[in-house]
Chain A
Amino acid sequence: MKQPVESRQLILDRIHAATPAAAGDASQLADAYAALPRTYIRRSSLSTSARIKLMIHRLREYDAEVVESTPADLPAAITAQLAASGRHLFVAPPGTPNKWMVTSARKITGLKWTIDHGLPIGEIEKAEGVVTAATCGIADSGTIVLHHSATEGRRVLTLLPDYYLCILRASQIVETLPEYFSRCQQPPALATYISGPSATADIEMTRIKGVHGPRILVVIVVRDDK
């Protein structure tokens, strides 16, 4: 068996032999890339309110629960949702604003917030729900984008608990996927795109929701556009 190093060169040699039209250098490559045709839709044609409406519609199509809130009412809105959930043990990312947690902790008996400062997996597994912010919402597909910053939490946080409350600001909502990509100043090292609760259609194409990952998704759309 060849050692890995040898195969690298072997494969690259095969590829180079097979691609005589390859760009000669990085700048030629960049030029060739820039010349690729892109006539697909790259901009939104919707007004802000139509865009937000579409996002909410798509989320509901995926059976996510969606409510709107003003920025001022957000802590109360969070409290209302958590109370309605009937759950008490919540985890939150390390950058979660205190305001989000203080009101609910006060108003809901038995509610316990655990902040993820490197929690062992077993602790996250015990949580009944998680609350995070988001990076972007893509209305066309009802997609929530997480870049796993301090307010969004590491990936496992929004994966293990069965209930996920996502706080999405209206100003974060775009219509099309290309708009999200053009908003990214830099590509994220980590990202998760969520377009509804997990599902499988592997058995007779019957769509069953909630295989792995939160079975309940609630989104609060914060109208910071008004």
Chain B
Amino acid sequence: MRASLFITCYNDTLFPETGRAVVRLLERLGVDLDFHPKQTCCGQMHANTGFRGEAFSQAKRFVRLYQDAETVVIPSSSCVAMIRDQYPGLFAELGNEILRKDFEALLPRVYELSEFLIDKLGVEDVGATFTHRVVYHASCHGVRALHLGERPYKLMAKVRGLDLATLTNVDRCCGFGGTFSVKNAEVSSAMLTVKLQDVLATKAEYCTALDNSCLMHLGGAMHREYAGMKTIHLAQILASTETEATL
């Protein structure tokens, strides 16, 4: 099984440890992983802020980089949602027929991490050990755009020692919303406060998710407020074994 890793612009810059965990995890599962050195961004930030022309140029670049990849794995549900939900419209409106066709051919080969594990590799037990109490934040893009459903829960159920807390209002938005967190910083913070109340009430040690964007937002407040909880991408939990903790 060969796969190409699209790490995402913000993971590359801010959360390289998530990328390292994805590599460890997938190689442990026998995946022959490669990494295109010229990758940058999927264009989501621009598309979501109304800069469609700019997003298009990034989308075009993405398709050109990966059009020959067997499979593309992305540890970020919002980026996959961008590719799945918005690229079609961008190419229909701003592209050409050839580009659009190349994209259509590529699309079925693009997977979010938990989709790749469950649907493509067909595994639920990835051989992980993570002896901690964990609360899972279901990112909006994962829930509503990708319909990930039970996938992350199936994966977590097989992690040895993981004590999964129940989160009330589990599918309520954390308030990050990309540039919304800056353009509407106060509302974003109010939403964050409400979300944090539910998350902290679980008394978990770690808050995990499939998107570092949400975790950056939640974790930033946890750190500011000395809340005593840490954030960690699910990839890092899944990569963690008895002998090697990935934190």
A and B touch in the complex (CB under 8 A): no
Q: What is B's interface to A at a CB cutoff of 8 Å? A: none
Q: What is A's interface to B at a CB cutoff of 8 Å? A: none
